Structure 1
Amino acid sequence: MSQDDLTKAVQRLEELFGKPSQNTLGVSVFVSDSPIASEDLEAFAKSKYQHFVGDAWESIGPENWTAPWELQYHRPEGMCRDILKELEELEDPATSLAASQLTENHDDPQGAALGLQGVFDSPEIQEVSIYRIGDTEAITGVLVAGIWGTGNAIALVFLMD
């Protein structure tokens, strides 16, 4: 897969799941404007999580949004690429449920699965991290972040109640 193919796959993922928003609930895809270092992927992911939560970040309290934050899975460069299996095998029940809803509860389940695979299983993607997110109460979710060869990063943020 070339860089152009990955760009098209990212555009398709945005069509399937939505471009950046501050909806608090639902799903959005965020792409970095410029390259980031691999060690900054988590900070990038957290910043997009906060952006997605929007005004609820302050009204519910940052401490409530950051308390559930936990790395659930990390795929280093060179490991087998299978985002659907990686999401399916998450051990945290709430995160696993949220991850399953990315495809199962989508208007186009097969398209959603192919969209996730097109980006996160691309040979251009160097690493992937999956995080548990939520508000410590009724809202739970999953965040999938990746970085590719150019240093650009992507984060898919999904929250549900």
Structure 2
Amino acid sequence: MDRDWKRLGRAIKAQREHLGMATQQDLADNAGVTRQTVQSLEAGTERKRTPPTIGKVEKALGWEPGTATRILSEAAPEATPRFAEGMPMRIAKELSDGQVVDTDVLDLTLPGSKSRLVVVFKQDSEAANMDPAELRAALQEWTRIQRALRQITAGDEADEA
């Protein structure tokens, strides 16, 4: 099976830069691998098999597991990020870190507008392993925040009336 390591290298570099990671060391730090690993991947160094660290790199880039393997074996498209095209890099980075616990969409529609506020409640990687009592406390805090946001939007509706 032909595998295109150069294409994978280009895709990794493009996604790293898209996420605002200016250097290979930035990606290495986020993935928990060495800079040499990232350098070798971006250079498209030929390998007989996929390195075991590729999963960490995929996660740091916000890719679904197996994306690198697909890029290596497919004839065409570069990897696409999981997030909407044109999303600011700082938001894409925030969304790619940690674990999503819950989301809420609050309608902030003004006359003639179709705007909505999307709120994402996330935990960082370490918090993803919290015990049940800590998770309960975090979810209680999230519920409090949701109520406050809904009161704000309800207050805006009352002001318009």
Fold match by TM threshold 0.5: no
Structure having greater relative contact order (Cα 8 Å, sep ≥ 6): 1
Please report the TM-score for the alignment, with normalisation by the length of structure 1: 0.26
Please report the TM-score for the alignment, with normalisation by the length of structure 2: 0.26
- Structure (1 or 2) with the greater helix fraction: 2
